[in-house]
Amino acid sequence: MSQLAVADQEVAMAVKPAAPARPSVVSLSGITKSFGPTLANAGIDLSVRAGDVIGLVGGNGAGKSTLMRILCGAMWPTLGAISFAGEEVAFAAYDTGEAQRRGIRMVHQELSLCANLSVAENFFLETPGDSASQPGWRALYRTRARAALDAVFPGNGIDADTEVGHLTIAERQMVEIARAAATPGVKLIVLDEPTSSLDLDRSKQLRAFIRERTKAGLAFIFISHKLQEIIDIATEVVVLRNGRTAWQGHAADASIGKLVQLMGGDANPVHQHAVATASSQDVLVRLSGPLTAALGRDIDIVRGEIVGLAGLEGSGQKELLHAIFSPDRKRHAGVSRRAEAGFIAGDRQKEGVFPLWSVLSNISIGALARRSALGLVSDRANRDTATGAAGKLRLDDKRFQSNITELSGGNQQKALVARALVADTPVILLDDPTRGVDIATKQDFYRLCNEVARGGRALVWHTTEDAELLACDRVLVFSGGRIVKELAGEAITEQAIVGASFAQSADGQASAAGKRTALAGFGRKLVNAAPFIGLATVLAIMVAINPAVASTFGLDLLLMPALSLVLVTAAQMFIVGGSEIDLGVGAFAGLVSVLSATLLYDQPSLGALALVAALAAYAGLGGVIQARKIPAIVVTLGASFIWVGIGYALQPTPGGASPDWLTALFGWSIGFMPTSIIMIVAVALIVLAVDRLPLGVVLRGFGNNPAAMIRSGWSPTRYALVRYLIAGLFAGAAGLSLTAINTASDINSGNSYTLLSVAAVVMGGCSLLGGIISPVGAVAGAVTLSLIGALLGTLSVSSDYNAATQGLILIALLTLRSLTADRRSEL
Amino acid sequence: MSAFASFGAWAQRNRWIWAAIGVLILWLVLSVVTNRFSLSSLSGVMLSASFLTVVGVGQMFVVTTGRGNIDLSVASVITLSAFVALLTVKGQDANLAIGVIAAVVLGLAVGALNSLLIVGLGIPAIIATLATGYVLATATLLSNKAIPGFAVSPALKDLATGRISGVPIMAVIAIIGVAATSFVLRYTVFGQLLSAVGQNRTAARLAGIRNGPVIASAFVISSVLASLDGLLLGAYIGGAFLEMGQPYLLQSIAAVVLGGTLIFGGSATALGTLFASILLILIVTTMQIIGLPPGVQDIVQGIVVIFVLALAGRQALARRASVDLADGDKDATAKTEAGAATVLPK
């Protein structure tokens, strides 16, 4: 690791003894946290004083993240206390918001930014309140973002107006670090693997910045698996192991070797196994093409060997595993597999376990997946197969009937390995399988890997623990998405692996990503223009056939009915922006229409009250959906029955009358310009304005990355209420417009708008995944859809084809979009 | 006490019991309050519930594929199928086979279209089935103009309305269907694959399951069942009318959720769907007996759905939490995200 170690004198500077009487910032004592039978933290004490840089190290699953989550208020400990500057705070009153008020900021690994917002807007999310309501708030945060980025990373060249989603991982990490560092009143910054994606220069800049700020009394907790950085920057080092403090002391007393030993990492695992000779007929996987271009030859993976994949996080190891698992001719032409492959995921909760099932079912699915779907399942047969596999793993078969989630991480992992064993595939792919697994299980695991390989299978093993690679026969080192080095036998050393990982980390990655965004961007632009092209086409055809359409009166006649749909679409767009769909929005507009034509007409004050109550109920629905985490689609579908039911009870048959002021509100005219166009444009502008306000930014943030928003201290329930309130206001306006335009009401008048609004929103280019709102496009989509009927009339096609035309347009657009968008394989 | 606790544990695994208890209580209350309520009136409720059960079971397959998947096209399929039946059977028993084949083909075609959009093109299920529903609505309007008259084949009418020693034939069909579905879910490989896909799609793919065909078959089953249901429902009401399938959209989802199938997918109970269908029809019947206006009936149905979901939501939350906490170390998620962001060079 010598090429990475920083100059000795720098180390010496960092550990220069500081003044003894520095004030305490925060102190945790006796922190214990249990998850069922496992203790993630056991009696940990941690005290941070102003100007400290605490290096926190420990293997995966050592309890670092749990401890930090407790420190930042994201989780409460089972036992323990926290105090700020000597003042004890009860955990019951301690949450992420409180932690932030007390000056604690945490930099997570790139997860805490909203990718759909600009850099400046992300800065706003972290520190709102500072004159955010004034016009020009964006400029303020733009300046602040620029200054903060330049302070930490001089010469970074990041534009504060760029969408975060368009930045590289390293740039995102830089934004995240700068954002935390720039927070006013911050006292302690927790940096979780801050340099995992940064190159050496940026990493040095960061460390220089930390040194600078500690002089002013700012404290840091620095978590990193790059131990040389810890020794370089930390004043004090805390080593965690199995949830306990294994060592705590001055950085001057620590060395890499000592830390590795303390973390429980077996510094030199024995190289136990070596494949005899690669015979060509036993080749199971072949890698070629650009992937192996740097080596100048193909790589064959043969029966009986363990091949390790190494390199910095995210250099392409995982992608290769997935490419081998499901070879895709187009994307990975260079990867070919000649035998069936099984997969063992290390990210158990996301990619591994089936949480509703017993351990036995979780194991036997491996064999079932490869049988005919019409076959029958027998518990006895399942048990027989699973017992053999479990025995090899020392997994107790008495636990077969327990739910998988009741098992510890290590035992869950054993079950996943057993699943791969019962599948009995010649190739087994392992994706960091020992993550968060205890030492004993790891030992079982290494032994088993050898046994399995010796039994004539090929193992491809991606690991984030470099030491584990020493157990492999061959190691492929990745950098920038390519294999840059192949190590075999005695040549496999941690030093060689790390050296090769860093060798060419700069190239490749950025250009490939750039090309992809450019191409996808063009396709997306084309699809986004579709509603406008569609609208123009529809109008052009109608004018061509009947020139009277182009007159002020003609346009008004055509477009006035579109206004209600435009308003409902605006409502739906805010809901979709939060990655939900409201199937009751049209019915709600119908209800408001009924209320305004009956109660509001007869008894204005009572009517107004009823409208407010309806709006409150609608907003409350949003709160319920968020608070209970229930699917909005079904809830709003249920609510639609309530809206229709109320309307029906109030007014069984269409009728009522529009209040004069309401008719006047929608019935004015300024002569040369069609009223309807003015109002539709006004609606689009209002939506656009709301979207540009800080409120709109927060709502979009929630649509994209709710977890990050909660971490930044925003209340999800409050903003769900606000989101539905805004939607309710637009839907309510739609209801009023229905009454005014029809001069009467009908509870069913809004029903067709629900589905049309979803179609319009999707046509307009909003993402159903949430977070992307395009008001102008959606309005254009709504107008286009509402003109379809008139267009068919002009073309003398029966109005029966109205719905089908709308449906086909929707299908065509979605098809286009799914073909242009870069869709990650979800299935 | 321990009996109570063990019942709780048992009910946790057999969630259909709550709907069954609901049916029992409501029926007893109705029998006591109104003297005229009896076993024979329950068989009338059973008959109506059977039509709901058939479409509900189909919806249950879709819901079980997870990701909040719902088939919004069932309502249009039911309506269209009833019209197609009128067009093909023309009131003649001789044409019945053609009618059944037409219904099955219609279901297969709609299911295949939905699957193509959802699995093939990756369009969210709700939008895809919504779009399909639009197209079917036009087909319904067209067939409404083409139908020769409201004649129903006598044999089909017997099937839909007849009774064997007091028990409606439809109820027998529904019960047999539910039993068959329960068997498929519990004892066939397909049932296990469906559950796996619904619980954790990524894990299912990595376990070697081909998710696409599993999800597609759920949508096909839903459409075929809805189509057959439309055929029978048309015979039951003696014709077809526009929007006749509409009530079955919310009610089928309500029956699925009320029955104990998890709305987040991965766990289905056909028995629960059956009992929940009966419960829903009982609720509607009760409201009719009390003499509530139709508007209020809608309100009550809406409230029941939201209320049950809000209750069930907590269970799902607890489950999610236990999964989240099973791995203490969140490093895992962060790293996956980082890894997923890079791509192999072309």
Give strand pairing partners of A344: A430
Minimal Cα–Cα distance from B95 to chain A, Å? Answer: 28
Least confident segment among A171-180, A430-439, A617-626, B112-121: A430-439
Nearest CB neighbour to B122, from listed A320, A377, A818: A818
Q: Is the pLDDT of residue A563 over 60?
A: yes
Mutation choice for A interface testing from B114, B192, B261 by most A CBs within 10 A: B192
- Cα distance from B340 to chain A (closest Cα, Å)? 7
Q: Residue A37 has what pLDDT?
A: 64
pLDDT at B326 over 50: no
Q: How many CA atoms lie within 13 A of A577 on its CB side?
A: 31
Closest-CA distance, B145 to chain A, in angstroms, reads 10
Contact B138 A635 (CB under 8 A): no
pLDDT at A590: 95
Give contacts of A 167-206 with B, CB under 8 A.
Answer: 169, 192-193, 196-197
* Facing B332 at nearest CB: one of A342, A436, A631: A436
Per residue in A538-555, pLDDT tens? 889 988 988 888 888 888
Please give the share of chain A, as a percent, with pLDDT higher than 70: 88
Cα of B121 to nearest chain A Cα, Å: 6
Q: What is the arithmetic mean of pLDDT over A480-505? A: 75
Residue A53: pLDDT band by 50, 70, 90 thresholds?
very high
Task: For chain B, give the mean pLDDT.
Answer: 84
Distance from CA of A344 to the nearest CA of B (A): 8
The model's pLDDT over A308-319, given as tens digits with 9 standing for 90+, comes to 988 776 778 888
Q: Quick check: B159 and B232 in contact, CB under 8 A?
A: yes
- In a mutational test of the B interface, the residue from A322, A425, A811 whose CB has the highest number of chain B CBs within 10 Å is A811
B81 alpha carbon, distance to own chain's centre: 17
Confidence of residue B73 (pLDDT cuts 50, 70, 90): very high
pLDDT of residue A513: 45
Spatial separation of the C-alpha atoms in residues A695 and A132, rounded to whole Å:
10
Higher pLDDT, A54 or B13: A54
- Over 50: is that where the pLDDT of B345 sits? no
The answer, yes or no, to whether residue B56 has pLDDT greater than 90, is yes
CB < 8 Å to B341, chain A: 169, 314
B81 Cα to chain A: minimum distance (Å): 17
0.80 surpassed by pTM: yes
- Structure tokens of B206? 């990595």
A541 touches B at CB < 8 Å: no
| pLDDT higher than threshold 70 for residue A694 | yes
Question: Regarding predicted confidence, which is higher, B245 or B311?
Answer: B245
Nearest CA in chain A to B314: A628
- Over residues A793-818, the pLDDT tens digits come to 888 888 888 888 888 888 888 888 77
User: What burial class does residue A89 get, using C-beta atoms within 10 Å of its C-beta: 0-12 exposed, 13-18 middle, 19+ buried?
Assistant: middle
Q: Contact B303/A630, CB-based, under 8 Å?
A: no
Query: In the predicted model, is pLDDT for residue A270 greater than 50?
Result: no
Min Cα separation A589/chain B (Å): 16
Q: Distance between CA atoms of A301 and A459, rounded to whole angstroms?
A: 9
Nearest CA in chain A to B341: A314
Is it the case that residue B344 has pLDDT exceeding 60? no
CA A224 to chain centre: 22
Name the band, by pLDDT with cuts 50, 70 and 90, for residue B182.
very high
Residue B67 in this model has a pLDDT that exceeds 60: yes
The answer to whether B342 contacts A197, with C-beta atoms less than 8 Å apart, is: no
Structure confidence at residue A76 as a pLDDT band (50, 70, 90): confident
Torsion, CA A97, CA A153, CA A59, CA A324, rounded to 10: 110
**Residue position matching structure tokens 């205890």:** A438
Task: List the single range of A381-390, A591-600, A602-611, B83-92 with lowest mean pLDDT.
Answer: A381-390
Helices (H) and strands (E) counted in chain B, each on its own, are 15, 2
Tokens in use for B107? 């279901």
Residue of B nearest to A432 (CA): B332
Q: Do B333 and A639 touch (CB under 8 A)?
A: no
| 68-107 in chain B: CB under 8 A from chain A | 68, 70
Q: Which of A108, A365, A642 sits opposite B196 (nearest CB)?
A: A365
* CA distances from residue B39 to B24, B110, B162 in whole angstroms, order as listed: 12, 39, 17
Q: What does the pLDDT read at residue A439? A: 65
pLDDT in tens, B198-213: 999 999 999 999 999 9
Which pLDDT value is given to residue A521? 65
- Give the Å distances, CA to CA, from A405 to A60, A412, B159, B322, B323: 19, 8, 47, 7, 6
**Mean pLDDT across A342-358:** 87
Which of B191, B208, B217 shows the shortest C-beta gap to A369? B208
CB–CB contact A642 B195 (8 Å): no
With beta carbons under 8 A apart, name residues in chain A contacting B212: 827
Place A436 in a pLDDT band, splitting at 50, 70 and 90. low
Q: Helix, strand or coil for residue A431? A: strand
Query: Between chains, do A354 and B296 touch, taking CB under 8 Å as contact?
Result: no
Residue A438 has pLDDT above 90, yes or no: no
Q: In chain A, what residues touch B265 (CB-CB under 8 Å)?
A: none
Interface test with A, best of B135, B344, B346 (most A CBs within 10 A): B344
CB spacing of A637 vs B305 below 8 angstroms: yes
Q: In terms of Cα–Cα distance, which of A600, A615, A565, A607 is closest to A586? A: A565
CB-nearest to A645 from B212, B266, B295 is: B295
Question: Is the Cβ of B295 closer than 8 Å to some Cβ of chain A?
Answer: yes
**pLDDT on residue A720:** 93
For testing contact with chain B, the best of A349, A364, A402 (most B CBs within 10 A): A349
At A109, the pLDDT band (50, 70, 90 cuts) reads low
Query: Between B130, B305, B314, which is nearest A758 by CB?
Result: B130
The verdict on A814 touching B (C-beta cutoff 8 Å) is: yes
Asked whether the beta carbons of residue A350 and residue B202 sit closer than 8 angstroms, the reply is yes
Inter-chain CB proximity B205 and A827 less than 8 Å: yes
CB A149 within 8 A of CB A721: no
Q: Judged by CB atoms within 8 Å, which residues 139-178 of B form the interface with A?
A: 139, 141-142, 145
Q: Which residues of chain B does A652 touch, with a Cβ-Cβ cutoff of 8 Å?
A: 293, 295
Residue A339 with chain B: CB contacts under 8 Å: none
pLDDT in tens, A182-194: 888 889 999 988 8
With a cut of 60, say whether residue A275 has pLDDT above it: no
Distance (Å) of CA A529 to CA A535, A774, A813? 10, 11, 11
Residue A264 is predicted with a pLDDT of 63
Strand ranges (E), B68-199: 163-164, 167-168
Cβ pair B262:A372 closer than 8 A: no
Identity of the highest mean pLDDT range in A149-158, A383-392, A444-453, B270-279:
B270-279
Q: What is the complex's ipTM, to 2 decimals?
A: 0.84
Residue A606's pLDDT is 93
